[in-house]
Amino acid sequence: MAERPIFVSTPDSDQLVKEIFFQIHWHSGFARVQKEKNIEELHAAAALDGYRNLLEISTKSKSERGRHLSAFHMTADAKDCGTIKLELAFQGSKVFERGGPFTDLYGKGEKEIGEAKRDPRLQNSGALIGFRFDGFDFPLEPKTAFYDWLYISFLKNFRDWAPKLHAYGGFTDVEFNPHRSINCQARSCALFLSLMRRNLVDKAIESPQAFIDLLREFDYRPQLRAEHGGQPPLFSAPSKGTQP
């Protein structure tokens, strides 16, 4: 058994995103068919609770839209580095006590993203202290803020896709293990949809401080099981722990 979440856009709620966790039978293994079975298990469990028409956002999604919305696939033009994959933007923007950002990672190809995530410098440069991307410096707190901001900034470029997100009852990411990781592209997509419904996307991505100030106006509260085993405040005391 394994615990996995779905993420539902709730623009009329101060939380903006509702996270619902389900216990599912887990099919172990790295084969694509095993991943697809896990997606089916999660979506079936959610359907029993009334959550249907979910979009899996990952490279393992059966939906082309879900695959294209994954951090490994989605690209955007950044003023300082040209066209870049979202996942490479996230990994290459990390700033540590003894190095970073490692912007050479920005230039990796799609097939090299896994290699980039395992770059020894990301493991051996001390504690993570922040992020730097496209002329902006981002703090570690609130947790998930940089990843959320980055994802929303990238997704905003796909204006023809954005309205189609309204059709989905929620979003999932089979690769996301809430007990090991903090950031999740399915959560970020649900947040984007809530902000879009409130006409706040442009305001949100103006700058890191604008985004953080906007979050403070709401009760957006990712359930960070990886660190706390519960649902801590988004604006907690600073931590030097790394973020997957």
pLDDT digits (tens, 9 = 90+) for 184-213: 999 999 999 999 999 999 999 999 899 999
pTM over 0.95: no
Return d(Cα 200, Cα 234) in angstroms, integer: 19
**52-61, 153-162, 225-234 — which is least confidently predicted?**
225-234
- Any idea where the domains of the chain sit in the sequence? 2-228
Give 118's pLDDT tier (boundaries 50, 70, 90).
very high
**Residue 31: is its pLDDT beyond 70?**
yes
Of 47, 68, 48, the closest CA to residue 56 belongs to 68
φ and ψ at 181, to 5 degrees? -125, 165
pLDDT value, residue 49: 97
Residue 54, strand partner residues: 170
pLDDT value, residue 227: 60
DSSP E strands: which ranges in 79-202?
Answer: 82-85, 94-96, 128-133, 136-138, 170-172
pLDDT value, residue 228: 52
Please measure the distance between the N-terminal and C-terminal CA atoms of the chain and give it in whole angstroms: 23
Give 78's pLDDT tier (boundaries 50, 70, 90).
confident
How many other C-beta atoms are found inside a 10 Å radius of the C-beta of residue 12? 10
Q: Which residues contact 198 (CB under 8 A, 6 or more apart)?
A: 11
pLDDT value, residue 230: 45
Average pLDDT over residues 27-48: 95
Average pLDDT score over the chain:
90
pLDDT value, residue 34: 95
pLDDT value, residue 217: 94
126 conformational bin, left if phi > 0, alpha if psi -120 to 50, beta if neither: left
pLDDT value, residue 52: 97
Of 132, 125, 127, the closest CA to residue 106 belongs to 132
Of 44, 48, 74, the closest CA to residue 188 belongs to 74
pLDDT value, residue 242: 41
**Residue 176: is its pLDDT beyond 60?**
yes
Name the percent of the chain lying above pLDDT 90. 78
pLDDT value, residue 169: 97
pLDDT digits (tens, 9 = 90+) for 15-28: 999 999 999 999 99
Orientation of helix 208-216 relative to helix 145-155, angle to 10°:
110
**Residue 243: is its pLDDT beyond 60?**
no
pLDDT digits (tens, 9 = 90+) for 85-99: 999 999 999 999 999
DSSP E strands: which ranges in the chain?
Answer: 2-10, 16-24, 54-56, 75-78, 82-85, 94-96, 128-133, 136-138, 170-172
